[in-house]
Structure 1
Amino acid sequence: MSNISNLWAHTNAEGIESQRLSSNKEADLVVIGAGFTGCSAALEAARSSSSVVVLEADTVSHGGSGRNVGLVNAGLWLPPDDVVAIMGESAGNRLIEALGKGPDTVFSLVKEFGIACDAVQNGTLHLAHAPNGFQELRERYRQGNRFGAPLQLLDRDETISRTGSDQFHGALLDPRAGTVQPRAYCSGLARAAVGLGARIYQQSPVTRVERKNGAWCVHANDHTVTAPRLLLATNAYHQLADGAYAPEYVLVSYSQFATAPLTQGQRSRILPGREGCWDTALVMSSIRTDENGRLIVGGMGNVDGPAASIHANWARRKLRRLYPDLGELPFEHQWQGKIAMTKDHIPKVVEFGPSAYAVFGYSGRGISPGTMIGAAAAKALLDAGPEVLPLPVIKKYSERFKKVMGAYYEFGVSLTHATRPGLLG
């Protein structure tokens, strides 16, 4: 196993010059966190000729934005009827409609700013891991098309042709969606924002936040950024700071394993259309390829935690089951990221003070929603008002038993990966 863990960091061709906050600054908007949400907000602010400063504790896209699968989906993990049941008809329909346009927004930004992120808009495949999984896909197909989504239900033979594996019972194709190299996409957003005048400071962890004289004062590296508006965009990688709002969510880990590059013959039959895929199993897993022909197998669980060997062994069994001829192909990279899961799986925009929003809780769907909600949050704070956001702004949000639930999920996933050798694990 290579010690170069995160494939996306290894192959990232985008980025900005790294600089730390080294003097006091003033801006129209200060953003904490340089992931999809924060970089999209910075780009939107810069495009509107507003001054914006982004403070990042580590490096751009260090968190979940640089560690996820890279699926650019048109919606949330929940089926549409569940979104409406949770949010109400008006708010639910509005969010569904807005996020349905998410992939086009992402790929348009990629094209506009020439972001080198291996962008492929050939759709995504939701794979039926079992016959009951195909019944679930039938229902998602019915709901999605009722809401205007151009979904296609694929039979087993078509699914075999598209995946190169006979282990699935059908699939749901969303042609609006696609894949990107996520770290490169986020880094490209940062580069585009800086090119338009945004100031992004890396290695600048926030230590204190306070409200003073009608403005927000955000302290990092013994210096202060002062702005009338504040956006907290740390999601699952939030670090505690004195006086700062602390978003609440359950942490869930997701790990990935990338093989050595496939041969041309293997690439011609394994995901030849380069769709990104995930399955219907309760303990979800994913497969996709990158531009160099690596096959990337992903699954819930923390490969950097105590159950690392269990998850790594599961990935090997998974590869053998899906593609027997690849069973011994070495994994050259493995890495994990953290997901901020909310109890209803709906993202949150919390107004925690005057002209201050916290955006978090994408529950594993961060690329399109993060891009869209980040830009909309910047617009809203820069005087357009909350009406431009695709979901309601709330005053508070809490999660009960956060640590217990996080441990429960990891234990359940580890048990499944240890005891179920097939597609269920």
Structure 2
Amino acid sequence: MLNDPRTHGLWEKTAPLPPETSALQGALSADVVIVGGGYTGLSSGLHLAEAGSKVVLLEAREIGFGGAGRNVGLINAGMWVMPDDLPGVLGQNYGDRLLGMLGEAPRLVMELIENHDIACELEKNGTLHCAVGADGLKEIETRAAQWSARGAPVTLLDAAETARRVGTSAYAGSLFDMRAGTLQPLAYARGLAHAAIKAGVSIRTSSPVIATERDGSRWTVKTESGRVTADWIIVATDAYSTGPWEQVRCEQVHLPYFNFATAPLSDNLRKWILPGREGCWDTKEILSSFRMDRAGRLVFGSVGALRNTGAAIHKSWAKRSLKRLFPQIGDVEFEYEWYGKIGMTDNALPRFHKFAPNVVGFSGYNGRGIAPGTVFGRTLAHHILGRIAEADLPLPVTDLREPGFRALKEMWYEAGAQVAHFAAARF
């Protein structure tokens, strides 16, 4: 997007076309104005419109421009935090409520895809959290026990079964989550946009919000060339927030994440590498992720930004790592490369913010945007429609707060990833 092949890479090249949209011009009136065209904004708009609400969605760039169009495409259940830790952080009621909602979130994604006939390469074959060494195995054993105690359909796989499913003997085991899957993330966002427009949502792109004002019970949201007056505002900008809600971005530490995609693998290699099409990531602190797209390209990623010296360092690391994991591939070349930013909160959990009367939003997905963004979008719609009271939401209202040394941490993450990848897997 914006003539930069490193923003969305493979996903932009293989996604169906987005709906035709234009910038906001003049004045509109609505029940709800949504700011942000990612999963949260599109899901909330779709669910509101299906319930009869008049909705206008404003996107600063293009549909799926932020994290929704750049991520790996794993439809995960839950968050990074261990299941049993959530009640301790949020309290028992919120912790249990959030776990229940996020555990069912992949199902909602898959139902929306099927109900609206969204062409996004959906694979419903689960995910594998791959254990690196004894410490990694202990981590996934703990996670498996905690999810199993809550009735989740997860299975702990040994090293042999993991090797059969993944195509490498590099892992001590894996946690197989049958709730999860993979998709083409930008295609999913564009499909949600098509469905939302069909339901009646007016989507205006290239329309960054520059100001808001309140007049009685109504809000006016202003862009350079227009304005929307509505009863409610949903803020769905998350890690790419600018303008009136830039504080949402400032609340998060940006973690850069890149992906490379190979050319389509041969039929023989596809029989050995991820034959079940599961999505994978490992337990390393600087983690790696990998999955197959519908055409048989291996998509491989990790922490880091593909700019300045990082572009060459991370590409060299990716080639070495793939050759070590899958020697049968040989020396690989990449057809596509891209990167984006993950917004990390200080406790690795999302936030619910009430910015002002009738101005609400979820944010802080910590690299788990697809399923949480979709289900939180529906939750915001149900809250505005009066179906869910504020006290019954999956998260408490949280004050905006900027973490200490945020800029330094972001510089360290980018530089530290380069140092780690320069040294890793060189022999």
TM-score (norm 1): 0.95
Provide the rounded CA distance (Å) in 2 between the counterparts of 1:33 and 1:205. Answer: 9
Provide the rounded CA distance (Å) in 1 between the counterparts of 2:19 and 2:37. Answer: 12
1:403 matches 2:403: no
Q: Is residue 154–residue 176 contact of structure 2 (8 Å, CA) maintained in 1? A: yes
Amino acid of the structure 1 residue aligned with 2:360: Y
Provide the rounded CA distance (Å) in 2 between the counterparts of 1:65 and 1:198. Answer: 19
Provide the rounded CA distance (Å) in 2 between the counterparts of 1:382 and 1:90. Answer: 23
Q: Once the two structures are aligned, what percentage of the paired residues are identical?
A: 42
Aligned to 1:226: 229
How has the CA–CA distance of structure 1 residues 289 and 282 changed in structure 2, closer, same or farther, with 3 Å as cutoff? same
The 5 A counterparts of 1:412-423 are 412-421=416-425
Aligned to 1:273: 276
Q: For structure 1, which segment, 366-375 or 245-254, has the greater mean C-alpha deviation from structure 2 after superposition?
A: 245-254
Q: For structure 1, which segment, 355-364 or 325-334, has the greater mean C-alpha deviation from structure 2 after superposition?
A: 325-334
SS at 2:200 equivalent: coil
Amino acid of the structure 1 residue aligned with 2:404: R
Q: For structure 1, which segment, 414-423 or 373-382, has the greater mean C-alpha deviation from structure 2 after superposition?
A: 414-423
The 5 A counterparts of 1:289-304 are 289-304=292-307
Aligned to 2:26: 23
Provide the rounded CA distance (Å) in 2 between the counterparts of 1:406 and 1:327. Answer: 34
The 5 A counterparts of 1:126-137 are 126-137=129-140
| Structure 1: unaligned runs, 5 residues or longer | none
Provide the rounded CA distance (Å) in 2 between the counterparts of 1:155 and 1:422. Answer: 28
Q: In the alignment, which of 319, 322, 341 is matched to residue 319 of structure 1?
A: 322
Aligned to 1:284: 287
The 5 A counterparts of 1:39-188 are 39-188=42-191
Residue deviations 1:360-411 (CA, integer Å, cap 9, x gap): 1000000110000111112212333324532223344442222122112222
Provide the rounded CA distance (Å) in 2 between the counterparts of 1:59 and 1:245. Answer: 18
Q: In the alignment, which of 335, 339, 343 is matched to residue 340 of structure 1?
A: 343
Q: Is residue 256–residue 335 contact of structure 1 (8 Å, CA) maintained in 2? A: yes
Provide the rounded CA distance (Å) in 2 between the counterparts of 1:213 and 1:94. Answer: 34
Amino acid of the structure 1 residue aligned with 2:425: P
Q: In the alignment, which of 380, 404, 410 is matched to residue 377 of structure 1?
A: 380
Residue deviations 1:65-84 (CA, integer Å, cap 9, x gap): 00001000111111102222
Amino acid of the structure 1 residue aligned with 2:300: V
Aligned to 1:212: 215
Residue deviations 1:15-38 (CA, integer Å, cap 9, x gap): 211211112111111111100111
1:353 matches 2:356: yes
SS at 1:307 equivalent: helix
Q: Is residue 361–residue 380 contact of structure 2 (8 Å, CA) maintained in 1? A: no
Residue deviations 1:201-228 (CA, integer Å, cap 9, x gap): 1111111122233222111132111111
Q: Is residue 14–residue 191 contact of structure 1 (8 Å, CA) maintained in 2? A: no
Aligned to 1:246: 247
Q: In the alignment, which of 389, 394, 419 is matched to residue 390 of structure 1?
A: 394
Q: In the alignment, which of 182, 193, 196 is matched to residue 193 of structure 1?
A: 196
Residue deviations 1:245-299 (CA, integer Å, cap 9, x gap): 6211111111000000001111111101000000000001101000000000010
Residue deviations 1:319-349 (CA, integer Å, cap 9, x gap): 1111113232210000001111001011011
Q: Is residue 247–residue 400 contact of structure 2 (8 Å, CA) maintained in 1? A: no
TM-score (norm 2): 0.95
Q: For structure 1, which segment, 63-72 or 406-415, has the greater mean C-alpha deviation from structure 2 after superposition?
A: 406-415
Provide the rounded CA distance (Å) in 2 between the counterparts of 1:402 and 1:31. Answer: 28
Q: Is residue 245–residue 352 contact of structure 1 (8 Å, CA) maintained in 2? A: no
| Structure 2: unaligned runs, 5 residues or longer | none
Provide the rounded CA distance (Å) in 2 between the counterparts of 1:196 and 1:156. Answer: 47
Provide the rounded CA distance (Å) in 1 between the counterparts of 2:309 and 2:221. Answer: 36
1:258 matches 2:257: no
How has the CA–CA distance of structure 1 residues 104 and 329 changed in structure 2, closer, same or farther, with 3 Å as cutoff? same
Shift of 1:9: 0.7
Residue deviations 1:109-135 (CA, integer Å, cap 9, x gap): 000000000001100000012222111
Amino acid of the structure 2 residue aligned with 1:172: L
Q: For structure 1, which segment, 333-342 or 320-329, has the greater mean C-alpha deviation from structure 2 after superposition?
A: 320-329
SS at 2:247 equivalent: coil
Amino acid of the structure 2 residue aligned with 1:213: G
Provide the rounded CA distance (Å) in 2 between the counterparts of 1:305 and 1:378. Answer: 42
SS at 1:99 equivalent: helix
Q: Is residue 59–residue 205 contact of structure 2 (8 Å, CA) maintained in 1? A: yes
